[in-house]
Structures are given as C-alpha cells and as structure tokens.
Structure 1
C-alpha cells in the first residue's frame, strides 16, 4: 500500500499538474501509514481529526463531521474488527467530470482502437436495427437517421482508419488526425451514436458500450491510455465542443453534428474527506460504473492526491484473456449500474455486518444504492442534473435542508470551473446563477 499523503501534498500535486486554479490544502495531522489496519485511539485527550473548511457547504460539512465523530475510532464503542465504511461514487463526486467519457473522447480524438473491423462492428450491435434515432438527433439537413445507417457509416470510417493507421503505435498524433476526413467523420458519428443510444436505451446501455470499447487493449495499455486521457483533460478548459462530419464523407446519414462536454478536475474537498475518514478509522470505498482499472489510476495515486487502497476501488470489469480485454463484461462481477452497483458492493463487503455509514452520490447510476440501505444515517448528493431515477433523492435533500439532523444533504459546485461552492446551490455549465434542485 502506498504511504498516506498529507492534504498539503495533495495541493502541491495539483500545482505539479499545472492546475494552479485549485487551492493548496493545509497540512494535516499525520495519518497512520496503513489506515486500514489502524488501531483505535484510546485517549480522550486527542481531538478527532476534522475536515478542512475549503468549499464545503457548511451544513454538509457539519453533517459529515458529526457522523465521523459519532462512529469513528475516537468514539466509544468503536469496533476495529468491524470497521465502518463509506461508499462514494467516483465520477461527478470524487472528481468533477466522468473518466469513462473522458477516455472515450480521447480515444476518438487519437483513434485508439485495436479491434479488427468485424469485432468492432459487433460492439455497435445494440439491437436497434432500423430504428430511427430519437429526436432531436438528426443530420445537419434536419433529416432523420436510422441506427442501422449510422452504424454502417461508422464501420466504413473505422475500416478506412484501421487500414491507414492500424500498424502504427497508438494513440496517434492528434494534429495529424485532424487533417483526416475519415477521422473527423468517425468521431462525430461515434459521439452521436453514444448520445442517441443513451436516449433510446438508457444510461446503462450507453455506459456498457463505452466500457467495451477498451476491448483489444492489454490491461497495461488501457491503463496507460487512461492516464494520457486524464492528463490531457486536466490541462483543458471545461466547456463544450462541436464535432462535425465533413461533407466529403456524407455516407448514408449525411453530415452530422454533435456537441460534447469536456472537462475533468480533481476535488480537494474529497481528497481531504478520504484522508479524514481513514484517520477516523472509516474505510472509504469507491463504487463506480466506470471501468475499475481506469478509476484506480486516479483513486490510488499519490500524484493525483486521493491515495486510496486498491482493494477498495470497485467498478465495471471486462473479461480478459492473457492480459487482453475482451468485448464482454466479467461474468463473475455485476455490472455496477442501478441494482448491479448495490450487488457489487454487497459482494465485496460481505464480511461487514453493518450497512455503509455514508453514501456519497454523484453518478447517474446510484438510485438503487441510495435506497438499498435504509439504516445508513447519511447520504450526500452532488447538486447536478440527474436522470429521473435520481430526482427523488435530490428532492429529499432539498426538503431536509436547514433541519438539525438531515439524512440527505446537498453539495453545490460551479460546473464552469469544476470547483465546489460553499453552498448547496450549483451553477450549471454555461450558466451564472446558482440553483437548487
């Protein structure tokens, strides 16, 4: 296990990545070198470690601190043989942004795909047939598009790119690819396909497609690709970009245009929370719908500042053979979306006799997780735009705002900068006015 990283070191690591817009964190009391094996503190003269103020919403920070003080190993009745644990989403929670979508966009930009065309075609076979893409997904002339036609255009772009670049080291140079009409068409159509699939079949189907696109990569190459995508995104401004397919590659669907959101940021408040949880004898457990290996790059890294034990990182898993990812999920592990996320957590934490002490949610996939443990005393939600399944929990947090002992609390952020706000209200991307749910 890596040594515990002080909160000051986390701030310095951000500056090393050129992220000077994020605040350095104050130096904390030294954490145990192996948090998961730490013994309970036996003296009442030692005050419990506390969260830094940073940009926490005050009521949310207070609820978290009260929870840790009441159940951590500074409290009476703490049982080190049954350590309490907190379950935290990764995307849009521990970080601002989504690592799987970030990797997807990077792979499109650099044509980082290794499957033969026939196997790649299988990844796009989602059972939609001749079904039309739902509104408002149209081509640039306003005409409807079928999933079948879009898939065929994507496959022809892929075949052209694989024939041209297939034997060169990946990822390919971005500057060269931006001169290739086939690449511009491919990335626009793939991004459109993903968004349309999400609208037609739901978030889980779209997420599975993104995870499966790593098929053909070795695990080591997938990890390296993820790191490159992270570094690239951390250095970019947060915002939206429009990708268009050139008229010279009109294909069956005609030229298309799609707008993507890009941006990834580290979150000092969450790095601080992870450290204080461990100092309190509470295990932070990441449970995410993104590929587990991709998330572990962030979550276990001292460079990025989160520094969590690898065994507490749970996510989507692909089957693999001789170290190469397959195009199917690992059959022995539930896909962590909805009820599957809860099932994965239960399997991993089967020896713990109690439910999680805390659920901290920001992903679209966490509705079942939020409802599965009625004895969990605190649930925290990032205030963002969620699908319908998550809306009831936002409303519960809103209705309990200002109460003395809320079970649901909100944390606001500014999506234009990726930074949190010291309030429950958020400023959504492209807006300037803070809003509650």
Structure 2
C-alpha cells in the first residue's frame, strides 16, 4: 500500500539514496540550502504555503537559530494516518481476546468512572429500546466470564477459532464495542477515552506495544471497510440486541510522513500530540517499519498509572487529559515551558485538535486534514476556507479520499461511500 518512497533531495532524488540525502540534509542544517517539500498529492496551494513556512523558519532562513530550533506538532489518528490506531486496537484486542484480566478485574474495569445511566437516544437496541449501562455491563461481564473459562489463551482449553464462532464471543464483541461508542457520546468524552485504555491493566509496556504492532500491521493489510456488528438474538441478556459499526483498516498518509521528514531536514523538530495512550502511538510514530521517525520522547498522549512495571486501571495522577483544550495544556507544559516558544506548525483533524491549532501566537500554519466536520474544528475549517489561496494563510485544509485513504490534490475531501467532494460540512 505504500505508494512510493518520500523524495528528500532537491530534484527527483529519493530516500533510497542515503549518501545524497545525508549530504542534502547536512547542507540544509548548515543554512546553505532549503530542502523542498515533495508536492505528491498535496493541494497545490498547500504546497506553496508549506514551502513558504519552510523558507521562513527552516535552517536556510537568515533568521534561523539552532539554539532556538522551531518545532511542529501533529495530531496522530486521522491526521498522520487514515482512521484511528487505538480504536483499531480495541477491535483487535476484542477479536484476539488479548486481556490479562480475571473476570473480577474485567468487571471493575468495565465500571471504571462510568455513570450508571441510560445512554443517549442514538444508542438504543435494534428494536428501539433504551440501553442502560448497568444492563449492558452485566451482559459483557457475563460473556467475558464464559470466554475466560473456555478460551485456551485465558483459563480454558478451546482454540481462538472455536471461541470466535461462539454466540458468547459475538455478543461480547458487539456489546463491548457498542459500549465504547455509547460511553463516548453519552458522557463527557474524557470518560470514554480513558475507559478504552483501562483494559490494558496488568500488561507491561512491551506487551502492550507488541499487541499494538500486531494490530497496526493487521489494519494496514485490511481493506478500508465499515462492518456492522450485531449481538446474537439468541443472547439478548439484560440489555437486548444491539448493533454498532466499526471502520476497519488503516492507511499511512504519505504526505504527512513526507512533511515530517522535510521539516526535520530543514532543522525543524517534530512532535505528536494524541488523545490515544502515548505508548500505543509511539509504536506507529517511531518504529522503522512505518517510517515516520518520531522519537518516543516526542509523543505526548494519555497515560496510565504504573505499578511494578505494569499498567493499572487508573489514570496517571496529575497528568492532563490530552484532548481539546488539554492538548494546549500539554504543549505548554511539556514543550513551550522548556523551549520558551510555541510551535510554528500544528496539524489536526477534529475537535480534539481545534484548540491547539489556534492557541499559539507562534503558529504560522494550522494544517487541517479535512473531514468536513462541524463544531470547534468546523470553525477553524471555515477560517481556512475563507483564506484559500492567501500566501500567508493561517489555516489550510487538505483533502483526502476516505475510500482509499489517500490524500487528494485538493482542499475538498470525499467521504467514505460518497461520490462528490465537499469543502465544508
């Protein structure tokens, strides 16, 4: 699925020419030449705007100071990649039953910080009945107890294939994924985003990252497809029959990956700010198999409290919630406070990124991967639409095709299953 290697050199020289790349990067770092951005599938207007940023702030600029190195901050999910690696990991963990939880521990995690209330009206049974947290939690815990007793990877003797064919597994998958979406949409988003990572309890960072690596590779090899999962009618349980849809598949955004390399070649550091747990994103952002080259210490995300080298089901005390306004907090505390200045470039796609896109006086460009959303990111996107073609545009929109995961040479995007590109929601 990798379309081509990113072009680093000044003219049609690929990253497969390491000696010339090293030479070019060294000259750029010395202030002698600017390494240009590969136009690839970028909107032509965005190429011009990003190239101007590189010439104004990169190491070839007369104003560049190595001791005051500029930096850029990227959201990860649906910005650096197509789709969400932690939601993909949730489905991978379910499908492979990769838990290190007893049934009692699983029950505790299911209830961690979640109110015992009825979900919003969007989350009803297939027969139109309301769903209460207590009822669906009881069903999922009951399913897990059966799976734990029977699956050979936990405490039983049956193979994964046998387990996946069972009604209990199908009920577990549909209802647990339904719970995640329902919790995120029914209650403050912070509850749902933390809840999903509590299921890593009792894993070491190495174990979590091995699972994340397997999930990433499976999702990269999977088709981009939306699958509806409905719980079996033979097991209505207390909650009844529910259904939810998961968007399978992940794609590398080659243009974003290329931009990261071009920024570094021009003496600009690259950071990632994510609302996923940082140890999961570090696998994708830093492992050589994926090519982004972001050091582990340059990833800011959610964090769990640790005990004896393993994750607990408690959020790290004193650590901010790295979403929305919290991403601004993270950048200010972890980067601006140490460097004395904010990022020159911020990239994102959703409400979780809207504040960091606009909160820093030092930011020259806010790059928005255009998902045609409303809300806070919609306000930023509207400003970008009003600034189309302006040489010094503060916000820019970058289009993509959600059916292929590829960027489009346009500010407009094509939603999954649609035929016409759109600029705004």
Listed one character per residue, the Cα deviations across residues 24-74 of structure 1 (whole Å, up to 9, x for unaligned) are 4340474559x8x9994143xxx3101111100111121111101111111
- Residue 140 of structure 2 is matched in structure 1 by 154
For residues 28 and 244 of structure 2, what CA distance do their matches in structure 1 show?
53
- Residue 56 of structure 1 is matched in structure 2 by 42
Task: Quote how far apart the aligned CAs of 1:204 are.
Answer: 2.7
Indicate how the Cα distance of structure 1 residues 293 and 275 shifts in structure 2: closer, same or farther if over 3 A, else same: same
Task: Quote how far apart the aligned CAs of 1:102 are.
Answer: 0.6
For residues 80 and 394 of structure 1, what CA distance do their matches in structure 2 show?
33
Q: What SS class does the counterpart of residue 86 from structure 1 fall into?
A: strand
For residues 169 and 96 of structure 1, what CA distance do their matches in structure 2 show?
36
Further displaced range: 256-265 or 180-189: 256-265
- 1:41 equivalent among 8, 19, 30: 30
- 2:214 equivalent among 214, 228, 242: 228
- Residue 3 of structure 1 is matched in structure 2 by none
For residues 38 and 377 of structure 1, what CA distance do their matches in structure 2 show?
24
For residues 341 and 149 of structure 1, what CA distance do their matches in structure 2 show?
34
- 1:429 equivalent among 392, 416, 421: 416
Is the CA contact 1:86–1:356 (under 8 Å) kept in the aligned structure 2? yes
Task: Quote how far apart the aligned CAs of 1:219 are.
Answer: 1.3
Is 1:201–2:190 an aligned residue pair?
no
- Residue 237 of structure 1 is matched in structure 2 by 223
- Residue 290 of structure 2 is matched in structure 1 by 304
For residues 58 and 159 of structure 2, what CA distance do their matches in structure 1 show?
50
Q: What SS class does the counterpart of residue 435 from structure 1 fall into?
A: coil
For residues 164 and 216 of structure 1, what CA distance do their matches in structure 2 show?
20
Task: Quote how far apart the aligned CAs of 1:234 are.
Answer: 0.6
For residues 205 and 127 of structure 1, what CA distance do their matches in structure 2 show?
7
Considering Cα pairs closer than 8 Å and 6+ residues apart, tell me whether 1 or 2 has the greater RCO.
1
For residues 100 and 406 of structure 2, what CA distance do their matches in structure 1 show?
36
Q: What SS class does the counterpart of residue 271 from structure 1 fall into?
A: helix
Matches within 5 A, 1:55-204: 55-125=41-111, 126-129=113-116, 131-165=117-151, 167-168=153-154, 175-204=161-190
Is 1:418–2:405 an aligned residue pair?
yes
C-alpha RMSD of the superposition = 2.2
Task: Quote how far apart the aligned CAs of 1:132 are.
Answer: 2.0
Indicate how the Cα distance of structure 1 residues 389 and 149 shifts in structure 2: closer, same or farther if over 3 A, else same: same
For residues 372 and 391 of structure 2, what CA distance do their matches in structure 1 show?
26
For residues 272 and 65 of structure 1, what CA distance do their matches in structure 2 show?
13
Task: Quote how far apart the aligned CAs of 1:374 are.
Answer: 3.0
Is the CA contact 2:148–2:154 (under 8 Å) kept in the aligned structure 1? no
Task: Quote how far apart the aligned CAs of 1:99 are.
Answer: 0.8
Indicate how the Cα distance of structure 1 residues 100 and 64 shifts in structure 2: closer, same or farther if over 3 A, else same: same
For residues 393 and 385 of structure 2, what CA distance do their matches in structure 1 show?
10
For residues 398 and 105 of structure 2, what CA distance do their matches in structure 1 show?
43
- 1:289 equivalent among 256, 275, 284: 275
Matches within 5 A, 1:268-283: 268-283=254-269
Q: What SS class does the counterpart of residue 339 from structure 2 fall into?
A: coil
Is 1:248–2:229 an aligned residue pair?
no
Indicate how the Cα distance of structure 1 residues 38 and 82 shifts in structure 2: closer, same or farther if over 3 A, else same: farther
Q: Give me the TM-score of the superposition, normalised by structure 2.
A: 0.91
- Residue 7 of structure 1 is matched in structure 2 by none
Is the CA contact 1:114–1:166 (under 8 Å) kept in the aligned structure 2? no
For residues 204 and 340 of structure 2, what CA distance do their matches in structure 1 show?
37
Listed one character per residue, the Cα deviations across residues 202-261 of structure 1 (whole Å, up to 9, x for unaligned) are 433221111222112121110110011111111111010011111222101122221111
For residues 240 and 68 of structure 2, what CA distance do their matches in structure 1 show?
60
For residues 372 and 159 of structure 2, what CA distance do their matches in structure 1 show?
34
Task: Quote how far apart the aligned CAs of 1:173 are.
Answer: 6.4
Further displaced range: 320-329 or 95-104: 320-329
Q: What SS class does the counterpart of residue 79 from structure 2 fall into?
A: helix
- 2:371 equivalent among 378, 384, 387: 384
Indicate how the Cα distance of structure 1 residues 361 and 343 shifts in structure 2: closer, same or farther if over 3 A, else same: same
For residues 387 and 119 of structure 1, what CA distance do their matches in structure 2 show?
38
Indicate how the Cα distance of structure 1 residues 376 and 337 shifts in structure 2: closer, same or farther if over 3 A, else same: same
Stretches of structure 2 that go unaligned for 5 or more consecutive residues are 8-13
Q: What SS class does the counterpart of residue 351 from structure 1 fall into?
A: helix
Runs of 4+ in structure 1 off by over 6 angstroms are none
Is 1:374–2:374 an aligned residue pair?
no
- 2:349 equivalent among 362, 377, 387: 362
Task: Quote how far apart the aligned CAs of 1:163 are.
Answer: 1.7
- 1:404 equivalent among 391, 414, 417: 391
Q: What SS class does the counterpart of residue 90 from structure 1 fall into?
A: coil
Task: Quote how far apart the aligned CAs of 1:81 are.
Answer: 0.8
Is the CA contact 2:350–2:377 (under 8 Å) kept in the aligned structure 1? no
